[in-house]
Amino acid sequence: MSIWNPERKRRSRDLLLATLVALPPALAAEGMATLDIEQFTLRITDETGTISHVLRGDRLQQFDPLGYQRTDNPRLELRVDGAVDWIWTAPLALHYPVEQRLELLGLTEGVRSARPGRARSRIDTSDVTINTETQEVSTEARATRVEPGLFMTGIGMHADLPADTIELHRDVRTVYSSQGEQE
């Protein structure tokens, strides 16, 4: 049984209002969309015409006056030498094409494909910003990295995917195992 507490109700209302104020306008601006596509695939090429990344999703809404696109259930494939290197997924994303920035909102998973000499790796976190040109990824949230023989968790992360570096910022805990990861 809970007891009604007006202070707790006021704090909850204030938190909700602060969240609504901080959200980008497009999240509440259905009628402002200049383009609305369901089950889409967007292929982006580099200056040589090679596909550098692919963005897929259940729905894409474009908001020209605001300069970004909203994507439901996005899947971002970052490619290297024509092959998928990393796949990032989340429930929602805001894509800023001019800035070459994708903001994945909510629980986010990044999976690096295994290659000869390199193990599969997974990162679980939330609220990730990806620079699609440089393939740099960052978050201020807790991030957990798992790969065979390694488990790392910490708060805040920066990854330079082409350089194959992933840094956790603070409160980092690491477990190494000679057994490897069993999936």
Burial of 40 (0-12, 13-18, 19+ CB in 10 A): middle
Confidence at residue 179, expressed as pLDDT on a 0 to 100 scale: 67
Tokens 């708060």 correspond to 155
> Which tens digits make up the pLDDT trace of 22-54?
455 545 555 688 889 999 998 988 888 889 899
Confidence at residue 54, expressed as pLDDT on a 0 to 100 scale: 94
Confidence at residue 94, expressed as pLDDT on a 0 to 100 scale: 95
Two tokens at 121?
């790796």
Q: Across all residues in the chain, what is the average pLDDT?
A: 84
Higher pLDDT, 179 or 153: 153
Structural domains in the chain, sorted by start: 31-176 (2.60.450.10)
Q: Of 126, 165, 164, which is closest to residue 144 (Cα–Cα)?
A: 126
pLDDT-derived band of residue 125, with 50, 70 and 90 as boundaries?
very high
Q: Residue 106 and residue 119: Cα distance in Å, rounded?
A: 26
Task: Assess whether pLDDT exceeds 70 at residue 18.
Answer: no
> Which tens digits make up the pLDDT trace of 47-86?
888 898 999 999 999 988 788 899 999 999 999 888 899 9
> Which tens digits make up the pLDDT trace of 140-177?
999 999 999 999 999 999 999 988 899 999 999 999 98
Task: Assess whether pLDDT exceeds 60 at residue 88.
Answer: yes
Q: Residue 78 and residue 60: Cα distance in Å, rounded?
A: 19
DSSP secondary-structure letter at 16? H
Q: Residue 54 and residue 180: Cα distance in Å, rounded?
A: 31
Q: Residue 145 and residue 123: Cα distance in Å, rounded?
A: 4
